[in-house]
Amino acid sequence: MRSFLMMVAAVLAFGTTMTIEATDANAVVCARGVYRAGCAGYRGAVVVRRPAAACRTVWVNGVRVRRCY
């Protein structure tokens, strides 16, 4: 009987804690990778691809150099 009462008390304490301290999870996680970047939140996820690099060849001090932006 004593173990049964302890078990009921534990279940009631757990249930009370979960009803009183219930909060919304509003976390957002973002990461930037080599090929794409993305964020994930409570409303869904977004993935963004990086644009293609625009490269051009320029002359710097008499040397041909390739610059990519």
Do the beta carbons of residue 50 and residue 35 sit within 8 Å? yes
Phi and psi at 59, nearest 5°, equal -100, 125
Give the angle subtended at the CA of 25 by the CAs of 10 and 19, to the nearest 5°: 30
pLDDT surpassing 90 at residue 64: yes
Q: Where are the domains of the chain?
A: 24-69
Determine the pLDDT at residue 35: 67
Measured CA to CA, the distance from residue 7 to residue 11 in angstroms comes to: 6
Three-state DSSP at 44 gives strand
> What pLDDT digit, counting tens, does each position of 23-46 carry?
555 666 777 766 677 888 777 787
pLDDT surpassing 70 at residue 57: yes
